[in-house]
Amino acid sequence: MSKPDDSDKAENGGPSAIEQYLVKDPERFALNMARMIEQAGKAASAWTEPREKGEVRDHVAEPVVDMVKTFSKLSEYWLGDPQRALEAQTRLFAGYMTVWANAIQKVNPNTEAPPDAVQPERGDKRFQDPEWGRNAFFDFLKQAYLVTSRWANELVEHAEGLDEHTRHKASFYVKQVSNAIAPSNFILTNPELFRETVASNGENLVRGMKMLAEDIAAGRGDLKLRQADYTPFEIGKNIATTPGKVIGRSDVAEIIQYDPVTETVLKRPLLICPPWINKFYILDLNPQKSFIRWAIEQGHTVFVISWINPDERHGAKGWEAYIREGLQYGLDMVEKATGEKEVNAIGYCVGGTLLAAALALLAQEGDHRIKSATFFTTQVDFTYAGDLKVFVDEDQVAAVERSMSEKGYLEGTKMATAFNMLRSGDLIWPYVINNYMRGKEPLPFDLLYWNSDSTRMAAANHSFYLRNCYLENNLSRGTMELAGRTVSLADITIPVYNLATKEDHIAPALSVFLGSRFFGGDVEYVMAGSGHIAGVVNPPAARKYQYWTGGKPVGDFNAWLATAHEHPGSWWTHWQHWIENQDNIRVPARKPGKHMKTLGDAPGTYVKVRV
């Protein structure tokens, strides 16, 4: 690296390396700083006003307390032995010395630049600007940060005596802190942000603070981070547009039947049970991505459960209510609309967990209408659950229950924040930088519109889920109690198609694989490429990713994967072939409303309730 002088110009003849970080119009810059402070006052007012009125009660202390307790346990190991503490400090100091020595060499024009002390992880987009390597100051910050965060991760990895849950939480919290303090997140330590701020004389900060105030107001006192431009989208107009009718409505669910597009259809209708965490139209974003539309084109008579966005009225609605008034009600509506008593069912994520619990209950009660079950990224055993398990222990569940008891539900923003934190490097900090520091509006994106369309969690429902699944793992243990019965997955003897995705951070492929052993019938385990959403919503026409099939899902997961056969593209066609192998009898297509009164057009009214 050469010394910064007048010859150090941008390739296009622009300002020198130093000049690009100097304010050109101090008066205008000062005026914009004043405007930014004015907008910051509006942001502060949007945050404090709901609290002063008692509309918002902060529960920030609870997760912070849990993080402090977790780090305390980690510290006990490293500080409990002076020799061990010294070794840890020595490793960090050695890393800093390497960074310092590299910095000295890089400013010397007569020496060859040494390699970095540590490289960013593959796929890390934070340090792509050339100045992170070319400018001695920013290069030093980058390397010091990477050395520190790598060292902190190693403290967790090498701490002996930690139980697995504490280690998982420590790793998660270290990652959150590391992501938050990255030099790329701050104006003065990010070369790209620094240059943009100087070039615009701070106008980017004025726009950004205005957006921050708007987003806090939109969250009614909490930050509702915008991840896309949502204005182009309207449910039923250009998103969730597959034609159909609402044929039933209960306190917790609307049942939608979609119009056929083929002359004949499979005799067995298809009932989809989506998660109530987020909304069903992830399976119907647009005609190109819609699994629902594609299934109709393959000859399925598709019915979907559209869950209510609960409020105070639904606080006591637990899993039995969601089974009776949602899933079982859906089966009743399917039978009323088609006359069919045999149905194929799909459950997605927690909707799949509910479907599995319902199947175990209905088997004991003698309701055998569901003849095959497909699970999309569904956990029934939570021994190796994903990163959401970080938020679940007795103290944290009790805190959530206290919070829900005030209104009868958990605010949708709470769950949205939790999911975003699982991938904070992708779903939080890039948007903080783009929106509030660059002052740029994010681009329209239907998937992120869906992601922002938060749903509340009914108190009894959510408490039952957290305790029986994540905390006590009762479903796979055969100790879950529903409707006065103790249910067992072994009672589910119908064929099961169990789809996992390779990079899933919510329902890991290993967890889905191990859950397969608890069913009482044959299980077809399939692993798709990509993650929890993209791995599922992968239409064949996109020709993306791949999927793996193999033998029975027994024994060691890695051994299964080593012998599994990889197929290019979407798993959708493989699933369709599996469905037709169960029963491929076809009948004339069924149009909604032929045998019953309809209640309106798809996608219905429940899905349009926003929080």
Give tens-digit pLDDT for 169-197: 999 999 999 999 999 999 999 999 999 99
| Domain over 244-390+446-608 is classified CATH 3.40.50.150 | no
Give tens-digit pLDDT for 198-224: 999 999 999 999 999 999 998 888 888
Please, what is the average pLDDT of the chain? Answer: 92
For residue 388, the model assigns a pLDDT of 85
Give tens-digit pLDDT for 581-602: 999 999 999 999 888 999 999 9
Distance spanning both ends of the chain, measured CA to CA: 53
For residue 245, the surrounding DSSP H or E stretch is strand 244-249
Give tens-digit pLDDT for 237-273: 999 999 999 999 999 999 999 999 999 999 999 999 9
Q: What are phi and psi of 244, to 5 degrees?
A: 180, -175
Handedness of CA 148, 149, 150, 155 (dihedral sign): positive
Contact 273, 345 (CB under 8 A): yes
Give tens-digit pLDDT for 325-349: 999 999 999 999 999 999 999 999 9
Unique residue bearing structure tokens 């005596």: 161
Distance of CA 593 to the CA centre of its chain: 36
Give tens-digit pLDDT for 266-318: 999 999 999 999 999 999 999 999 999 999 999 999 999 999 999 999 999 99
For residue 10, the model assigns a pLDDT of 46
Q: Which residues are catalytic?
A: 349
Give tens-digit pLDDT for 506-540: 999 999 999 999 999 999 999 999 999 999 999 99
Of 12-21, 65-74, 156-165, 436-445, which range is least confident?
A: 12-21
pLDDT at 572 over 70: yes
Map out the domains of the chain as residue ranges.
Answer: 21-219, 244-390+446-608
For residue 158, the surrounding DSSP H or E stretch is none
- What type of residue is 566? E
- What type of residue is 118? V
Written as one string, the DSSP assignment of 83-113 is HHHHHHHHHHHHHHHHHHHHHHHHT-TTSPP
Contact 368, 289 (CB under 8 A): no
For residue 119, the model assigns a pLDDT of 87
Measured between alpha carbons, how far is 562 from 490 in angstroms, rounded to an integer? Answer: 28
Task: Give me the half-sphere count of Cα atoms (radius 13 Å) on the Cβ side of residue 477.
Answer: 12
| Helix-, strand-, coil-residue percentages of the chain, each rounded to 5 | 50, 10, 40
pLDDT at 546 over 50: yes
Handedness of CA 350, 352, 356, 362 (dihedral sign): positive
Predicted confidence band at 7 (pLDDT cuts at 50, 70, 90)?
A: very low
Contact 563, 555 (CB under 8 A): no
